[in-house]
């Protein structure tokens, strides 16, 4: 089911002053989701019912924050019960449009939330979809040397990743959008940066971290470095509370 058939609730975390490009972007996103956006203050976001998507405009980060990888959006993403779309400073002075989407996969069941958002947005905007599998999705495994990418393993129909990618290829055909697979040997952080630049994507979509905080501390994360170092709009998808119950 596409967003042209069902409306989603879109809330926008308001930070004055609201530039014209920001207002145009909110209206554009509202049309894609068939939902008039609501402007909310931080207090209203904390006390209201969780929306289907929370839009957050990240203010320009000082040089020292970028240098040390400090990202104000991280706290919001970690605490918000809803999927969060983080818009970056580079896109505040021009109207955003969606032509290319980069989908990052872990070959994990949690990817389904990200795939659903790609379906909603790609079908509504007729956007191309670029797919980057990070396998294994554990940054700690790369600390002591690069792990060779074994394409035959990633694409094997008997592996979870291979079955997932084949299903996604079929879905792209059903959605009527162009899909392209990106593969590269490198550490996860560099691989994601390479894929964002190679696809020249307008949006990166990834599911929330599927592991407990202690596991993330020991094994590493993908969402945190993505938000810290890639200056593009990023949508962190998560399962809705209704589906988890």
Has residue 204 been placed in a domain?
yes
Number of folded domains in the chain?
1
Cβ atoms of 205 and 238 within 8 Å: the answer is no
Has residue 227 been placed in a domain?
yes
Has residue 224 been placed in a domain?
yes
What residue numbers bound the domain in which 200 lies?
Answer: 10-244
The structure's pTM equals: 0.88
- The radius of gyration computed from the CA coordinates of the chain, to the nearest angstrom, equals 18
- Write out pLDDT tens, residues 198-214: 999 999 999 998 877 77
Looking at residues 97-114, what average pLDDT do you find?
Answer: 95
Looking at residues 69-74, what average pLDDT do you find?
Answer: 80
Has residue 29 been placed in a domain?
yes
Show the tokens assigned to 57.
């405009």
Output the domain CATH number for residue 99.
Answer: 3.40.50.12370
HSE of 35 in the Cβ direction (CA atoms, 13 Å)?
23
Has residue 5 been placed in a domain?
no
Residue 162 host element (H or E):
helix 160-175
Has residue 168 been placed in a domain?
yes
- Confidence label for 231 from pLDDT (cuts 50, 70 and 90): confident
pLDDT of residue 151: 76
Has residue 1 been placed in a domain?
no
- Write out pLDDT tens, residues 135-178: 877 777 777 666 666 677 788 888 899 999 999 999 999 999 99
Sign of CA dihedral 206, 87, 77, 217: positive
Angle in degrees, CA 134, 140, 145, rounded to 5: 85
Has residue 2 been placed in a domain?
no
């Amino acid at each position: 089911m596409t967003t042209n058939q069902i409306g989603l609730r879109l809330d926008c975390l308001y930070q004055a002053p609201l530039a014209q490009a920001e207002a145009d972007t909110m209206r554009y996103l509202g049309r894609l989701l068939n939902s008039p956006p609501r402007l909310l203050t931080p207090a209203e976001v904390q006390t209201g019912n969780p929306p289907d998507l929370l839009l957050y405009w990240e203010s320009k980060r000082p040089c020292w924050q970028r240098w040390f990888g400090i990202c104000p959006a991280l706290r919001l993403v970690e605490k918000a019960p809803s999927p969060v779309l983080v818009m970056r400073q580079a896109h505040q002075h021009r109207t955003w449009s969606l032509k290319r989407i980069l989908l990052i996969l872990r070959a994990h069941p949690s990817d389904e939330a990200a795939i659903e958002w790609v379906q909603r947005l790609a079908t509504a905007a007729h956007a191309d979809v670029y797919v980057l599998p990070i396998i294994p999705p554990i940054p700690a495994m790369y600390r002591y040397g690069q792990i060779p990418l074994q394409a035959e393993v990633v694409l094997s129909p008997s592996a979870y990743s291979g079955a997932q990618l084949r299903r996604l290829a079929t879905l792209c055909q059903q959605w009527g959008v162009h899909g392209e697979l990106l593969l590269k040997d490198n550490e996860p952080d560099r691989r994601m940066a390479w894929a964002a630049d190679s696809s020249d994507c307008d949006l990166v979509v990834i599911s929330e971290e599927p592991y407990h905080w202690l596991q993330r501390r020991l094994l590493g994360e993908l969402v945190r470095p993505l938000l810290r170092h890639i200056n593009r709009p990023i949508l962190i998808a998560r399962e809705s509370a209704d589906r988890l119950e």
